[in-house]
Amino acid sequence: MIRLSVPNIGDDEVMAVERILRSGQLVHGEENERFETELSAYLGAPEVVVVSSGTAALHVALAALGIGPGDAVIVPDFTFPATANVVELLGARPVFVDVEPGTYCLSVEGVRRAIADWSGPQSLKALMPVHEFGAPADMTPLMALAAQHGLHVIEDAACALGATIQGKRAGTLGVAGCFSFHPRKALTTGEGGAVVTSDPDLAKRLRLLRNHGIERGPMGTSFAMAGFNYRMTNFQAALGRVQLRKFDGWLSARRTLKDVYLEALGDIPGFSLPADLPGHSWQTFMGVLDASLDRGRVIERLKAAGIEANLGAQSVWSQPYYRDRYGPVSESWTSVRLFRQGLALPFCETMSPEQLRLVAATLRAVAEDTLHEA
Ligand SMILES: *Cc1c(COP(=O)(O)O)cnc(C)c1O
């Protein structure tokens, strides 16, 4: 079976984790501090706070900015639902906005309209662009809109470690950027995540919220605020540090391999390619099937040929919880079409160009067959 993606774990990762396991220092320790310093250098962000998942990163970022009841936060409708879930969990209101067909990222026009049309009762406080699958969101106009309307920008860069936007790393443009190190992402610590910021006061609150609100002073330990336990373990950080040393090589391999896909998948009937944006980190490779092709059937056929494929991401508003709470999403939204017809194909840096060409040839045959049957 050609899998969608396989975590890239070598002997040096195993040895690094073993060393920490044998040291007995399993919770927050020196490896966490070092991983933060190294991520900070890699991203060019002054402050990095590593946490237990990408969702935890999003949750503490919003909490540290004081987002709560009475607030509304703009999120793209096409993403992993955690982006909107954290807004709900803080008692705030997610405001869904449609995405662009080729980049799968927030529509700037949609955001402009959502701001103009917003009539409360909550007040708009923040904008959360998602760099979907590593594709940089259109940050220049989004940052301008946010500045004009006094919105905090929190980047969901869960998929976008290494992506760049006009020479800066994705995740470093907003007041906070959130990363995930889940095994489905390009760099993994098992579970894990990080918040990056250049605001030292925000970083201080993030650190308190990560660790029960504990402050250590000359008089001992005190609890300065009500916090979570969102710490990353010391051995996860050790794993992340080894991964980070190899990461630029992986990123450039992904960028070479996506060209193989773009060429081999080029003119498959009923299948459109993702936009080839500069700075894309290609965490996931998702194309979109025409309505004439039944995705379930295409996935089944690929599976029968030994190729794993699946949907790329959700229309969050289409999910039962959000539909029940906020009514039905507009059927004409691009996010709904992407949710129904998006097709994520196997893609990671350990794949060979031959494997990618095999996937493309198989998809071509399946698409032609399926179109013929219809
Ligand atoms: C993976 C992902 C998350 C959640 O990250 P976890 O580490 O799994 O909690 C959030 N947002 C997006 C866009 C993601 O892709």
Read off the pLDDT of residues 298-326 as tens digits, 9 standing for 90 and up: 999 999 999 999 999 999 999 999 999 99
What's the N-to-C CA distance of the chain in angstroms?
A: 27
Encoded tokens for 233: 């373990």
Q: Between these two residues, 217 and 234, which has the higher pLDDT value?
A: 234
Distance CA 196, CA 206 (A): 10
130 CA → ligand 1 middle, Å: 10
Q: Specify the ligand 1 atom closest to the Cα of 185.
A: 1
The answer on pLDDT for 333 being more than 80 is yes
Q: Which atom of ligand 1 is nearest to the CA of 283?
A: 15
> What is the rounded average pLDDT for all residues in the chain?
97
The stretch 103-130 carries a mean pLDDT of 97
pLDDT of amino acid 219: 85
371 CA → ligand 1 middle, Å: 34
Q: For residue 96, what pLDDT is reported?
A: 98
192 touches 170 (CB < 8 A):
no
At residue 372, the pLDDT reads 78
pLDDT tens-digit map of 264-280: 999 999 999 999 999 99
Ligand 1, residues at Cβ distance < 6 Å: 53-55, 79-80, 82-83, 130, 156, 158-159, 180, 182, 193
140-178: pLDDT as tens digits: 999 999 999 999 999 999 999 999 999 999 999 999 999
- Sequence-distant (≥ 6) Cβ neighbours of residue 143 within 8 angstroms: 153, 173, 174
CB half-sphere exposure, 133, CA atoms < 13 A: 27
With a cut of 80, say whether residue 374 has pLDDT above it.
Answer: no
Give the atom of ligand 1 at the shortest distance from the alpha carbon of 181. 7
Nearest to 134 by CA among 61, 200, 201, 186: 186
- Classify 321 as helix, strand or coil: helix
Atom of ligand 1 nearest to the CA of 180: 7
Exposure of 201 by Cβ count < 10 A (0-12 exposed, 13-18 middle, 19+ buried)? exposed
pLDDT cut 70: percent of the chain above it: 100
Q: Cα(57)–Cα(206) distance, rounded to whole angstroms?
A: 9
Q: Could you tell me if 240 and 338 are in contact, meaning their C-beta atoms sit under 8 angstroms apart? A: no
230 alpha carbon to ligand 1 midpoint, in Å? 15
Write down the residue that tokens 């959360």 correspond to: 128
Query: Does 362 score more than 70 pLDDT?
Result: yes
Q: Is the pLDDT of residue 128 over 90?
A: yes
> Measured between alpha carbons, how far is 79 from 85 in angstroms, rounded to an integer?
11
User: Contact at 8 Å (CB) between 325 and 81?
Assistant: no
Q: In whole angstroms, give the CA distance from residue 99 to residue 330.
A: 13
4, 80, 159: residue to mutate for ligand 1 pocket, most atoms within 8 A of CB: 80
94, exposed or middle or buried, with CB in 10 Å at 0-12, 13-18, 19+? buried
Cα(158) to ligand 1 centroid in Å equals 5
* Rounded CA separation 246/162 (Å): 12
Is the bond leading into 269 cis (omega within 30 degrees of zero)? no
User: Which pLDDT score is estimated for 326?
Assistant: 96
pLDDT tens, residue by residue, 190-215: 999 999 999 999 999 999 999 999 99
Whether 18 shows a pLDDT value over 70: the answer reads yes
What percent of the chain is predicted at pLDDT more than 90? Answer: 97
Return the pLDDT at 370.
84
Sign of CA dihedral 50, 206, 248, 161: positive
pLDDT surpasses 70 at 87: yes
Does the structure show a pLDDT above 70 at 261? yes
Phi, psi of 280 (to 5 degrees): -60, 140
Expressed in angstroms and rounded, the spacing between residue 226 Cα and the centre of ligand 1 is 24
* Catalytic residue IDs: 185
Best of 53, 55, 155, 335 to mutate for ligand 1, by most ligand atoms within 8 A of CB? 55
Tokens of 207: 């650190």
DSSP 3-state of 187: coil
| Rounded Cα distance, 78 and 75, in Å | 9
Residue 371 binned pLDDT confidence (cut-offs 50, 70, 90): confident
